[in-house]
Amino acid sequence: MISRTARYALHVLAILAARPADRLRGEEIASATGIPVNYLSKILNQLRKAGLVESRKGWGGGFQLQAEAGQRPIRDVLVVFDGLESADRHDCALGRTACDNEHPCAMHDEWAGVRDGFTRMITATKVADLAQ
């Protein structure tokens, strides 16, 4: 549902959202989250390319939440790391391609409910909400 990498990203954003005025080194974020440093650097890079964080190199450098990123929904993060299909699900729980409202599978309605709850969760929750 949410990949480990995407959860990492959310955890990182939570840390940054808690201190929006500070610039944190990758090393700090790694030790605060427990995410392996090298892997984290890839994640931070993707967050930067997605416009969610700003970075500065060299002495005094580090990462900081991008100005308006706090108001972005969690969904935006999931799209980056898990793809659109994972964020906007309209799949069948059994993987049937022929499953729709006219020809529902046995779990169609209940699965639609689960998906809706998920969608509502990731659109209602904003990055800023993650700050502990």
Count of other CB atoms within 10 angstroms of residue 46: 16
Q: Is 16 exposed, middle or buried (0-12, 13-18, 19+ CB in 10 A)?
A: buried
Q: What are phi and psi of 63, to 5 degrees?
A: -120, 150
Among 39, 71, 109, 116, binds DNA (CB under 7 A): 39
Minimum Å gap between C-beta 63 and its own copies is 19
Q: Please report whether residue 31 would count as binding DNA according to CB under 7 A.
A: no
Residues of this chain that interact with its own copies (CB under 8 A) are: 1-2, 4, 7, 10-11, 14, 74, 93-96, 105-107, 110-111, 113-114, 117-118, 120-121, 124-125, 129-130, 132
CA–CA dist 108, 26 (Å, integer): 44
Minimum Å gap between C-beta 105 and its own copies is 8
Two structure tokens written together for 121: 């969760």
Q: Please report whether residue 19 would count as binding DNA according to CB under 7 A.
A: no
Residue (8 or 63) nearer to its own copies, CB:
8
> Residue length, the chain?
132
Nearest to 90 by CA among 121, 69, 116: 116
Q: Please report whether residue 117 would count as binding DNA according to CB under 7 A.
A: no
Question: Could you say which residues in the range 52-91 bind DNA, by CB under 7 A?
Answer: 55-63
Q: Please report whether residue 42 would count as binding DNA according to CB under 7 A.
A: yes
CA–CA dist 92, 95 (Å, integer): 5
Q: Please report whether residue 5 would count as binding DNA according to CB under 7 A.
A: yes
Question: How far from chain centre, in Å, is Cα 10?
Answer: 5
Footprint on this chain of DNA (rule: CB under 7 A): 3-5, 8, 25-27, 35-39, 41-42, 44-45, 48, 55-63
